C-alpha cells in the first residue's frame, strides 16, 4: 500500500491516479500477467534500440517459445521484445557468443535454423508493412 495524503491506495490505484497502468500484450490485448494470480499488472517497455539479426535470432532461440508460439511475424517480434525487455541485450549477446563457439547437435541446429527463418520472415513482413504505409 502507498500512502497519499491521508488515504491508502493500492499499487494499482496509485498507478491509475498517476496516469500509469499495465501495458496490454501486443498480440491479444490482455495484460501479460493475470492480476488475480500475480498481483498488479506488470509488463515490459518495448525496447527501442537497434538489434542485429544475430541478436534477434538469439532472443528468439532462447525465449523459451515453441514453434507454435512463433508462427506469425507478430509473435516472433513479441518474443524478441519480451526477451530483450526482461533479460537485456547483454544476455542475447552472451547467447550469440555461446552459439558461435559451441558444437550443436542436430536438434539444436534445426532449432537455430527455424529461429533464423522466423526472424527473417518477421523482418520481411515488417519491411513490407512499412512500405505499404
Whole-structure pTM value: 0.64
Integer CA distances (angstroms), 116 to 28, 29, 73, 119, in order: 24, 27, 12, 5
Q: Would you state the pLDDT for residue 3?
A: 41
Q: Residue 12: CB partners within 8 Å, gap ≥ 6?
A: 21, 35, 40, 41
Backbone angles phi, psi at 66, to 5 degrees: -100, 180
As a whole number of angstroms, the distance between CA 65 and CA 126 comes to 20
Q: Would you state the pLDDT for residue 38?
A: 54
Confidence of residue 90 (pLDDT cuts 50, 70, 90): very high
The residue among 21 and 88 whose pLDDT is bigger is: 88
As a whole number of angstroms, the distance between CA 131 and CA 36 comes to 41
Q: What is the percentage of the chain residues whose pLDDT exceeds 70?
A: 62
Q: What is the percentage of the chain residues whose pLDDT exceeds 90?
A: 41
Confidence of residue 129 (pLDDT cuts 50, 70, 90): confident
Amino acid at each position: 500500500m502507498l500512502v497519499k495524503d491521508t488515504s491508502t491506495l493500492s499499487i494499482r490505484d496509485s498507478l491509475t491516479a498517476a496516469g500509469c497502468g499495465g501495458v496490454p500484450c501486443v498480440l491479444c490485448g490482455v495484460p501479460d500477467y493475470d492480476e488475480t494470480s500475480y498481483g498488479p499488472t506488470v509488463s515490459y517497455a518495448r525496447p527501442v534500440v537497434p538489434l542485429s539479426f544475430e541478436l534477434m535470432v538469439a532472443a528468439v532461440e532462447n525465449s523459451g517459445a515453441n514453434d507454435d508460439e512463433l508462427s506469425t511475424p507478430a509473435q516472433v517480434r513479441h518474443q524478441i521484445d519480451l526477451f530483450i525487455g526482461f533479460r537485456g541485450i547483454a544476455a542475447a549477446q552472451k547467447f550469440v557468443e555461446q552459439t558461435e563457439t559451441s558444437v550443436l547437435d542436430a536438434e539444436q541446429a534445426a532449432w537455430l535454423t527455424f529461429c533464423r527463418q522466423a526472424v527473417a520472415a518477421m523482418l520481411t513482413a515488417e519491411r513490407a508493412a512499412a512500405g505499404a504505409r
